[in-house]
Chains A and B, each alone.
Chain A
Amino acid sequence: MIDILLMILTGIGVALFGFVLQTSIAGVNRKVVARVQKRYGPKWYQEFLDIFKLLSKRSVTHGWIFDFGVIMALGGIIGTAMFMPLTSSFMAFDGYDNFFIFVYLIAVGMLGMAMSASGSGNPLASIGVMRALTTMLAYEVPFMIVVLTIIKITGTSSLSEIGLFQQVAGNSWFFIALPIGGIVAVMALMGMLGKKPFETYIAPAEIASGPMVEYGGKQLGMLFIMHEITVFIEVSLFVHLFLGGAENIVLFIVKYFVVYTALNIISSVYGRFKIDQVVLFFYKWPLIMAITQAFIAIYLGWVI
């Protein structure tokens, strides 16, 4: 009983760590993007300020589902983050860091948010949710195919074990071992994080930030927290799956930072796709590339 409690506490610690890590790195990244745009940029802890400011405000609610959805969203994401291994050997629930848990448990959070947004009664929120789900339909399939290849090669769907597999001498990181798949994964990751050109579902100037249109104050703050943890989960997934996991926490943070910053830099030079362009894009090249990669790797055995 005690060790289960301890595990859960560790899990909460992981989630908290993820939140702090991602929020800081996001702040730093705002500076990075600002530099790209020849600006000075905000303080590195600006994201924290934003979130706590939101939590301090007096918000409005549109009924119980509006609040319930937010709680479910944040709860689901915290729950998901608790499973995330930080290094390839450190995680809260040893042996249960199954890839599918992340993919699907994260969906509870998404569903909660979508539900809450639609519950607000604002059509723009529903449109945003529609776009978010459509985008999800677009990027998820190519990504899953690449991960399928990895799972098939390593014979395990545990993130830490996939990480360890890459650390064995002779095996290279999957980003290098499966180069085509790696590129697909990067594109899919940009879709997951809602970075340009795939930020169609936020589109502030078009649909007034989509799902978040009716949020203010604490609900928005909680969604921000949720967003940060989601990003933490998704980027960590990438690190574990494609960049050889992490032997220690420093390496993890470094890899994490590199991935996230690189994505931000890429995204800062793009415009925005229309929603059907997103779908068409992902179902054209990334999917073909992912299938090609899977075929080469699984049936021909060509893994670098």
Chain B
Amino acid sequence: MLSTKFSPMSKEEVDRKWWEIGDFFRRNSLWMLMYCTGCCAIELPPAMTSAYDMERLGMGPMATPRQADVLLVTGYLSLKTLRRLIYTYEQMSEPKYIVGFGSCTINGGIYHDSHAVINQLNKYIPVDVFVAGCMPNTEAVMNGFVDLMDLIKNKKANGWKDYHERYEWYLANQKAALGEVRVHDEFHE
């Protein structure tokens, strides 16, 4: 017999409900910050324009990290740009997600033996979705976005939480890659 009595939800439950509602909005309105350092960036224009029209998914480009929800790392990252990527990532408002493009972000790709390029992006910042390929074609990119939406729906896009929890680990990796001076301005070195 179902109880007709109103049972107040616990605070956690309320928060969870709100979070689910929030997730609905978030996955349907993913605003991207495109960190176009590598060649994979060339896949974004067809994805945005009339060929694939990512606006269907509610996605759109944004100008600054403050406004964006998802950071697109499109290809290889040199050490210099890594610093800036981390800075940019830390400026984004939570919840925030990262999509890594191409093999360069997964294992260094064709630059795997370069002294100036990092090989594995998710050692430094938490990547939620990788889009494999060198470079991935546009369908793959779109697929990656849909995957991200699914992850958000299933509450599995938790990279930003992971960054909080394992910050020491990330920090250690960042330091190892960048040297003791983690971030510094070339004007002031």
Contacts and interface: CB of A to CB of B under 8 A. Distances in A.
Say if the two chains contact directly (CB < 8 Å): yes
Interface in A23-44: 30, 34, 37-43
B58 A37 contact: no
Interface string B57-85: 11001111111110000000000000000
Contact of B66 (A40, A50, A56, A215): A215
B25 A49 contact: yes
A42 B67 CA distance: 19
A30 B67 contact: no
B50 A53 contact: no
A75 interface: no
A56 B53 CA distance: 25
B93 interface: yes
Given A57-B93, A216-B93, A34 B63 contact: no
Contacts of B68: 216
A59 B93 contact: yes
Interface string B12-52: 00000010011001101101000000000000000001100
Contacts of A56: 18, 21-22, 25-26
B92 interface: yes
B150 interface: no
A220 interface: yes
B67 A220 contact: yes
Contacts of A34: 53, 55
Interface string A184-206: 00000000000000000000110
B93 A43 contact: no
Contacts of A214: 64, 66
Nearest to A41: B55
Nearest to B56: A40
B139 interface: no
A205 B63 contact: yes
Contacts of B162: none
A52 B57 CA distance: 16
Nearest to B68: A216
A66 to B, nearest CB: 11
Contacts of A40: 53, 55-56
Q: Which of B50, B55, B56 has the most chain A CB atoms inside 10 A of its CB?
A: B55
Contacts of A208: 63-64
B72 to A, nearest CB: 16
Nearest to A37: B50
A216 B28 contact: no
A46 interface: yes
Interface string B104-116: 0000000000000
Given A60-B66, A213-B66, A46 B29 contact: yes
Contacts of B50: 37-39
Nearest to A33: B55
Contact of A50 (B21, B29, B93, B94): B29
Contact of A204 (B22, B63, B94, B95): B63
Contact of B92 (A39, A43, A205, A216): A216
B49 A58 contact: no
B85 to A, nearest CB: 17
A41 B53 contact: yes
Contacts of B31: 50
B58 A41 contact: no
Contacts of A57: 22, 26, 69, 93-95
A142 to B, nearest CB: 30
Contacts of A38: 50
B22 A53 contact: yes
A53 B25 contact: yes
B56 A41 contact: yes
A212 B25 contact: no
Contacts of A209: 62-64, 67
Q: Which 5 A-B pairs have the closest CB atoms?
A: A216-B66, A56-B22, A216-B93, A53-B25, A209-B63
Interface of B: 18, 21-22, 25-26, 28-29, 31, 49-50, 53, 55-58, 61-69, 91-95
21 contacts: A30-B55, A34-B55, A38-B50, A39-B55, A40-B55, A41-B53, A42-B57, A42-B58, A46-B55, A53-B25, A56-B25, A57-B94, A59-B93, A204-B62, A213-B66, A214-B66, A216-B66, A216-B67, A216-B68, A216-B93, A217-B93
